[in-house]
Chains A and B, each alone.
Chain A
Amino acid sequence: MTPTEPRLALLHITKRYPSVVANADVSISVMPGEIHAILGENGAGKSTLMKIIYGAVKADEGEMMWDGRQVSIANPAQARKLGIGMVFQHFSLFETLSVVENIALVLDEPFDLAALAVRVKEVSERYGLPLDPYRSVHSLSVGERQRVEIVRCLLQDPKLLILDEPTSVLTPQAVQKLFETLRRLSAEGVSILYISHKLHEIKSLCDSATIMRGGKVTGTAIPRDETPASLARMMIGRELPVCEAPAYTGQVKPVLEVDRLSLVSDDPFGTSLANISLTVHAGEILGIAGISGNGQAELLAALSGEQTVDREAIWLAGEAVGHLDAGQRRAKGLVFVPEERLGRGAVPSLSLSRNALLTAHRQGMKRWGLVSYQKAKDFAEQCIARFDVRCGGPGAAARSLSGGNLQKFIVGREIMLAPKLMIVAQPTWGVDVGAAAFLRQTLLDLSRTGVAILVISEELEELFEISDNIAVLAAGKLSAAQPKAATNAESVGLQMSGLFNETAQPTESSHASA
């Protein structure tokens, strides 16, 4: 029996929001067993479209066909009943509940945890996604949490599985395992909608692709027959921008030195840091790879000064600063761009010029304790012009800017403070391709003026593009930094799973003598 009817067909879907048309006349069809990519930048309308399919958002116009019948899906429960499963980008799991409890909450069947646990184990092993049903979710790694989400969908016998940016938090090895599972599912006849902006993944996994830009379908493609460059052209409408990394010619001296930093986290869901040492020189970008939750938040807090540590654990330009708080370290030439743009990098409801004041107040913006708003405004205007921030001027509220433009403003604001050392977390998280390239080039240019930069990021490609040296933070331990040319994504990926401890230790001899 060959399938002739598409599993899912969307016909002329349109969804308008007050200020923006999220989906305009979008049509897509997916056959049984097909792995179909939805490719597009942030803000292209992918997520809205998936929410429409999953019943979380209602389309204004258009029709949806399921196995040849017209359907209208009012809520996620109804979508699940039809056989639509969704793995969310930001997981929809409950941290304090166990794996099996999390799964029980979405299943429409009598409540019997013991019986369910057996099935969870069985299904998870059948698809190569091993899980302990009784572990608490908060003790699982990000990759394991994603397994929970996938197993949860599989237990509902899905006919269509939607995955929203599923690999953004996985190591390269975990991505390969995920792909194996997805191919197996597709061979069993499950259709898969795979949302991503990672071109090489789509090329290696997907049978077909729909490319979206600005809420519209701009093309369809067979990814195998395309190149990443041609896919990128369809996705962003022009060539993929490339960063230039000229060699640094200035004086090389250490700016940031961390010496055996240990920190016990008092958050039960946190990670303690163990014996971390690193050095960042002037003119160097040190990239720290690793999956969030492996001590990233704790390391950033210790480096920025939000959490003070032993005086001698952190040195800034030859001076012990471990005991100083964030303000005192900033006065000595450290700047910090946190991961959360709204809420920590900037105050959402305040104007850009007031947000400039937050960290730039030392630039002569106050006299005798009084603030000069004119100077703050001038500063913001300069920042907007110099870093190409698209916004409604210095009076615009921070929350009115797109992620990319706000990040340009925040990074720009910190660069204008003429720092010696810049610490950046997830510099291009949720930022469109154009702005991301601009930000990376900005960081590269800054480092070549003699500033030391430490970048913590989950995006390996980004780190390989801009870093001079790369270290990996896993389970609160930091691997030795290696020059970019001496390492590659696979070896960094292995270290991300925490393997550098085992390989570093000479355990062979003890085995031999035994």
Chain B
Amino acid sequence: MIESLIPVLAGAIAAATPLIFAGLGELVAERTGVINLGVEGMMLTGAIAGFALAAETGYGAAAGLPAGALAGAATALIFAFFALSLAANQAACGLALTIFGIGLSAFIGQHYVSYSLPGLQPLVIPLLSDIPLLGPILFKQDAVVYLSFITFAVVAWTLARTRLGLLLKAVGESPESAHAIGYPVLGIRYGAVAFGGAMAGIAGAYLSTVYTPLWVQNMSAGRGWIAVALVVFATWKPLRLLLGAYLFGAVTILQFHAQGLGIDVPVQFLAALPYAATIVVLVVISRDRRLLQLNLPASLGKPFLP
């Protein structure tokens, strides 16, 4: 019985990987007080940039992921210019960025509609993969999944243990105070937004070059929005975000299996299930308003000009 769960859980880990990248990036940006609703758009620009470079160079994901990161960061900088330097409304700028990303990726993607890529073979880690149960779930994955583990560890450690992490939190809480004691608030926010863009770009490129290595228009399919929601419901804490992402991944894989078993439920309903389940569970576990308010970056969404 448990043995049959292994492919489901292993699949869940892979399905969650784009959410982990995009979510961690958005979490870092929001910690500094910037809410970027353009994650979906940045993911799509990253996806098409990664796919195009992977397809044209023939290097696959090895070229696709860096290209996705660069494209995501570049798109994020457009947002940063309007929302930070010009202090425009962050929600409006983010929405515009999403629409822009959807359009741009569809436009460039016209040429690639019938293309497919080889994808990545799983990288079996010796010894660790022999651990019963956990080994085949965690350590028979592709290299990018391992990269997501490392990214999570680095981001969580940086936020909790380093001066940089403290500074990000401080800027998000009171940009005025951070400015008063002499920190470059706009520079720090630019950096955090660019990091968020790069992470969203990697998430998109993973989708298009590894997870489903063929080009489909609008292939992020709302995962960018789930990433934004995850950050809030995770109360800006990396570990909760990780758990939320894996929950989404697990329901995604389960509903595929349900479809395969021919359960008499409309496919569209099953496809919507991961989104609905993730939101419902997260709302329930984070319904403590005090917890939300205590962790909420106080300046979230508010423009700051020195």
Measured CB to CB, the residues of A under 8 A from B are 55-56, 75-77, 80, 88, 91-97, 101, 104-106, 111, 266-268
User: Is the beta-carbon distance between A266 and B163 smaller than 8 angstroms?
Assistant: no
Give the A-B contact count at a CB cut-off of 8 A.
55
Interface centre among B169, B170, B181, B294 (most CB of A within 10 A): B181
The yes or no answer to B289 lying at the interface (CB within 8 A) is yes
> Knowing A104-B163, A105-B167 touch, does A95 contact B298 (C-beta < 8 A)?
yes
Interface check B176, CB cutoff 8 A? yes
In whole angstroms, how far apart are the Cα atoms of A219 and B177 in the complex?
33
12 contacts between A and B (CB under 8 A): A77-B182, A92-B180, A92-B181, A94-B177, A96-B169, A96-B294, A97-B166, A101-B166, A104-B166, A105-B170, A105-B178, A266-B289
Interface residues as binary, B136-179 with A (CB distance below 8 Å gives 1, 0 otherwise): 00000000000000000000000000110011011001101110
* Interface size bracket, B side: 20 to 34
Residues on A with beta carbons closer than 8 Å to the beta carbon of B289: 266
Whether the pair B290, A268 counts as a contact (CB closer than 8 A) is yes
CB distance from A318 to the nearest CB of B (A): 38
Distance between Cα atoms of A266 and B294 in the complex (Å): 12
Cross-interface CB contact of B180 among A76, A95, A97, A268, cutoff 8 Å = A76
Q: How far is the CA of A92 from the CA of B174 in the complex (A)?
A: 8
Q: How far is the CB of A124 from chain B (nearest CB, A)?
A: 19
The interface residues of chain A lying within 8 Å CB-to-CB of B176 are 92
Q: Which residues of B contact A267 (CB under 8 A)?
A: 293
Contact partner, B170, options A88, A97, A266, Cβ 8 Å = A97
Name the contact of A93 in the complex, choosing from B166, B177, B182 (C-beta under 8 A): B177
* Cβ contact within 8 Å between B293 and A105: no
Known A95-B298, A97-B169, A268-B293: A88·B180 in contact at CB below 8 Å: yes
Q: What's the nearest-Cβ distance from chain B to residue A114, in Å?
A: 12
Report B285 CB to chain A, min CB distance, Å: 18
Measured between beta carbons, the chain B residues less than 8 angstroms from A56 are: 180
**B170 (CB) vs chain A CBs: closest residue:** A94
In the complex, which residues of chain B have a beta carbon less than 8 angstroms from the beta carbon of A266?
Answer: 289-290
Interfacial chain A residues near B294, Cβ < 8 Å: 96, 268
A80 CA / B182 CA spacing, docked (Å): 10
CA–CA, A80 and B181, complex, Å:
9
Q: Which residues of B contact A91 (CB under 8 A)?
A: 177
Structural contact, B182 and A75, CB atoms closer than 8 A:
yes
Main secondary structure of the interface of B (DSSP, over half): helix
Bound state CA distance, A288 and B242, in angstroms? 50
Q: Are A95 and B173 in contact (CB under 8 A)?
A: yes
| Distance of A101 Cα from B165 Cα, bound (Å) | 11
A95 to B170, CA, bound (A): 9
- How long is the Cα–Cα vector from A435 to B295 in the complex, in angstroms? 41
Is A76 a contact of B181 with CB atoms below 8 Å?
Answer: yes
Residues of B within 8 A of A96 (CB): 169, 173, 294-295, 298
Query: Considering only CB atoms, which chain B residue lies closest to A102 in the complex?
Result: B170
Residue of A nearest to B167 (CB): A105
B290 cross-chain contacts in A, Cβ below 8 A: 266, 268
Q: How far apart sit A268 and B290, CA to CA, in the bound complex (Å)? A: 6
- A88: chain B residues at CB < 8 Å are 180
On chain A, the residues within 8 Å of B181 by CB distance are: 76, 92, 105-106
Inter-subunit contact A105/B166 (CB<8 Å): yes
The docked-state distance in angstroms from the alpha carbon of A268 to that of B289 is 9
Residue on B with the closest CB to A80? B182
Most buried by A among B170, B180, B182, B289: B182
B159 to chain A, nearest CB (A): 12
- Interface centre among A80, A94, A106, by most chain B C-beta atoms within 10 angstroms, is A94
Task: Please measure, in the bound complex, the distance between the C-alpha atom of A410 and the C-alpha atom of B225, giving whole angstroms.
Answer: 45
Nearest B residue to A75, CB-CB: B182
B298 to chain A, nearest CB (A): 7
Contacts of A105 in B (CB 8 A): 163, 166-167, 170, 178, 181, 183
- For the complex formed, measure the closest distance between the CB of B37 and the CB atoms of chain A, giving whole angstroms: 24
- Which residues, 183 to 240 on B, are CB-close (under 8 Å) to A? 183
> How near does chain B come to A72, taking the closest CB pair, in angstroms?
16
| Mask: chain B, 35-74; 1 = CB below 8 Å from A; 0 = not | 0000000000000000000000000000000000000000
Q: How far is the CA of A4 from the CA of B17 in the complex (A)?
A: 68
Expressed in whole angstroms, the Cα–Cα distance for A389 and B269 within the complex equals 65
Cβ-closest chain B residue relative to A88: B180
Asked whether, in the complex, the Cβ of B173 is within 8 Å of the Cβ of A94, the reply is yes
| Minimal Cβ-Cβ distance residue in A for B292 | A268
Q: Inside 8 A of A95's CB, which chain B residues have their CB?
A: 173-174, 298
In the complex, given contacts A97-B169, A268-B293, what are 5 additional A-B residue pairs having Cβ atoms less than 8 angstroms apart?
A: A75-B182, A94-B178, A104-B166, A105-B166, A105-B183
Per CB-CB distance, the 8 closest pairs between chain A and chain B, nearest first, are A76-B182, A92-B177, A111-B163, A92-B180, A77-B182, A268-B290, A94-B170, A94-B173
A387 to B161, CA, bound (A): 57
- Cα A91 to Cα B174 in complex, Å, equals 11
Bound together, the chains give a CA A91 to CA B180 distance in angstroms of 10
Distance from B46 Cβ to chain A, minimum over Cβ atoms (Å): 32
- The CA of A334 and the CA of B77, in the complex, are separated in Å by 52
Cβ contacts B287-301/A at 8 Å (1 or 0 each): 001100111001000
A97 to B176, CA, bound (A): 15
Q: Which residues does chain A contribute within 8 Å of B295, judged by CB atoms?
A: 96
Whether the pair B173, A97 counts as a contact (CB closer than 8 A) is yes
Q: Give every chain A residue within 8 A of B177 (Cβ-Cβ).
A: 91-94
Considering only CB atoms, which chain A residue lies closest to B297 in the complex? A96
Shortest C-beta distance, B133 to chain A (Å), equals 38
| A350, chain B: closest CB distance, angstroms | 21
Chain B residues contacting A111 (CB-CB under 8 Å) are 162-163
Tell me the complex Cα distance, A97–B182, Å. 18
B113 to chain A, nearest CB (A): 48
C-alpha spacing A266/B291, complex, angstroms: 11
Contacts of A93 in B (CB 8 A): 174, 177
Task: Name, among A80, A91, A268, the residue most crowded by chain B CB atoms within 10 Å (CB to CB).
Answer: A268
A-side contacts of B178, CB under 8 Å: 94, 105
Q: When chains A and B are docked, how far (Å) is the Cα of A329 from the Cα of B100?
A: 50
B32 shortest CB reach to chain A, Å: 13
Task: Report the nearest B residue to A136, measured CB to CB.
Answer: B294
Nearest B residue to A107, CB-CB: B163
- Whole-angstrom distance between the alpha carbons of A104 and B164 in the complex? 11
Whole-angstrom CA separation of A193 from B304 in the bound complex = 30
Q: Shortest CB–CB separation between residue A117 and chain B, in angstroms?
A: 14
CB pair B169–A94 under 8 Å, yes or no, is: yes
Q: Chain B residues with Cβ under 8 A from A55's Cβ?
A: 182
A96 to B177, CA, bound (A): 13
List chain A residues, Cβ under 8 A from B298. Answer: 95-96
Contacts of A77 on B, CB cut-off 8 Å?
182
Set of chain B residues within 8 Å of A104, measured between Cβ atoms: 163, 166
- How many angstroms between the C-alpha atoms of A459 and B15 in the bound complex? 60
* Closest Cβ neighbor of A78 among chain B residues: B182
Residues of B within 8 A of A76 (CB): 180-182
Complex: A97 Cα to B166 Cα, angstroms: 8
* Chain A nearest CB, measured from B235 CB (Å): 12
How far is A77 from B182 in the complex, measured between Cα atoms in Å? 6
